Amino acid sequence: MDIPINDTGREQATNNGKTLAGLLDDPARFRYIASPLGRTRETMNLVRLQLGLTSYGYETDDRIKEISFGLWETHTFAELKLTVPDMVRQRREDKWGFQPPQGESYHMLLNRVRPWLNYVNEDAIVVCHGGILRVLEHHLNGTSTAEVAQQAIPQDRIFKWDGTTATWL
């Protein structure tokens, strides 16, 4: 769902922008891409402001939207445990391969993201989501699907791909 960013997210975005400002000699030479969801667009605006750039000088791409939970998107896991406990158990047993009703599995998400990786062929600053970062961690670093599906994805750090290895800054 297109959930709005909160104050903690705004603070994390601003701090990530400050971190990037300290790392980049020429922020204007990068390509900027964000998921089209509101919280990622606002994050990108805040990051770009910290880099001394206009807030709205970037592109969006549907391929890096967050994973879809389909019919589950308006429910908490506590609710789902009561209403569809077998499906919640199936997801727990195979989080990578599980597909919620009318939603996506992480495997499906990776298939959505792969063509986007070929599209980004120059240095870029990207604002996306935890699900996207999980599949990138698997695809780029070879982290096992079982491990990456359970991995906590920090919102207050930067995921850097240098063409060989992806690392968290």
pTM of this structure: 0.93
Question: CA triplet 48, 49, 53: central angle to 5 degrees?
Answer: 65
CA-to-CA dists, residue 138 to 12, 32, 148, angstroms = 24, 23, 6
pLDDT beyond 90 at 56:
no
Which CATH number do you get for residue 23?
A: 3.40.50.1240
In a domain, 60, yes or no: yes
CB–CB of 82/75 below 8 Å? Answer: no
In a domain, 159, yes or no: yes
109-152 tens-digit pLDDT: 999 999 999 999 899 999 999 999 999 999 999 999 999 999 99
CB–CB of 88/97 below 8 Å? Answer: no
In a domain, 115, yes or no: yes
In a domain, 77, yes or no: no
Number of compact structural domains in the chain: 1
CA-to-CA dists, residue 30 to 58, 82, 121, 146, 147, angstroms = 10, 47, 11, 33, 32
Q: What is the pLDDT, as a whole number, of residue 46?
A: 97
In a domain, 81, yes or no: no
Angle between helices 7-23 and 38-50 (to 10 degrees): 40
Q: Count of CB atoms within 10 A of residue 40's CB? A: 25
In a domain, 138, yes or no: yes
